Copies of this chain bind each other. A is one copy, B any other.
Amino acid sequence: MANIKDVAAKANVSVATISNVLNGTKYVSDEVKERVWDAVEETGYIPNNLARSLKVKRTRTIGMIVAYIENPIYAGIFRELEMTAKTKGYSVVVCNSNDDPETEEQLVKLLLSNKVDGLVIVPAKNSKISNKNLIPPDFPLVLLNRKINGFQANSVGIENEKSTFEAVSHLINVHGYKRIAYVSGETSNLLSKERKEGYIQALEENDIKVDPELIFNGDSTFQGGGRAAAAMLSQTDRLEAVFVAGTTMLLGVMFQLKIMNISCPKDIAVMGFSDSSMNILLDPPISSITQPLKELAENAFSLVLKQIEHKSTDIENIILPCKTQYRSSCGCKWEPDLESFFTNNSDGKYRFDLIES
């Protein structure tokens, strides 16, 4: 494959001139420029970014690590990140950690080795990225959505407690539910704690006693959510509503409800954390707290960029507010509409368009 030297030879100029016309770094006469472009064309020259990056010590690439790219939340954040990054001339590469700290560690090493300019990471469970010798102390890094106990790092996340508080308050104040169960994620998880705190606050604020019997561990999984639902519904005292603290569990809960032939919201109202297109398609459409994917991505990017450009040295923790979608599952009235459906992405396009496969 042709390199810059070949092109230079063909155009009868020096390699410096080739570099200059390709990058617009210096003035080059029109005549020479033309010869250069012709030579580029003829040789099918494609600049070698490895060599370039090695020289300029910059790849203009951001590395992103998520647990599962199949998760619509992360797929969405990835594409938004890709889009904002592009406007600043950056590209981004994603990797799946499978929520496994070993895999995550390998990936971090790989990405560092590949000289990404910055890292955006959704830390795996028991993540080791806080180990001093994994990521260099001053390396541009932002933690997304999940935090690591006792690790000081730039981060962007959402108002877990406040959002939950508001959603549960809605259940209480708008619909008058009092016996509200809670399905929590893995208890070790920081996010889980924040969300549960929001639930407790909402009850207390409204003088409803927090009943530990009404708090179920859904373990952050689909099956866990289903089992929690089963346990919850076998209680003798009738429940009025349930708040489910994560998408996957939420789906599990709905699935179990259907299996047990429990009508929602008639028999029990449901409200959950994290929205996705599935929530709209399900029967009934699920009310849920929506994460601001675009803002999350934009803030994450501007935070890495700031570090890359040495604009700031002190660490920032950005916490973004969430909106809640009140649909049918909580007891609200909500009208599905085909034409306006799924068109609320940042670019107004439905993401699944035209993928026949």
Residues of A within 8 A of B (CB): 1, 41, 44, 46-51, 53-54, 59, 67-76, 78-79, 82, 91, 93-96, 99, 109-110, 112-115, 122, 125, 133, 136, 145-146, 185-186, 189, 191-192, 220-223, 226-227, 230, 245-248, 251-252, 254-256, 258-259, 274, 278, 281-283, 291, 336, 338-339, 341-342, 350-357
Contacts and interface: CB of A to CB of B under 8 A. Distances in A.
A122 B246 CA distance: 32
B357 A226 contact: no
B51 A353 contact: no
Given A51-B54, A96-B79, A136-B1, A46 B109 contact: yes
A226 B71 CA distance: 25
Given A54-B51, A68-B351, A70-B351, A113 B46 contact: yes
A60 to B, nearest CB: 10
B99 A355 contact: yes
Given A94-B94, A99-B353, A282-B283, 15 more contacts: A49-B110, A49-B114, A49-B115, A51-B54, A68-B79, A69-B94, A82-B95, A99-B354, A220-B355, A221-B354, A254-B281, A255-B338, A259-B338, A282-B282, A283-B283
Contact of A50 (B54, B72, B248): B54
A357 B274 contact: yes
A336 B74 contact: no
Given A146-B357, A258-B283, A356-B246, A223 B69 contact: no
A175 to B, nearest CB: 23
B50 A222 contact: no
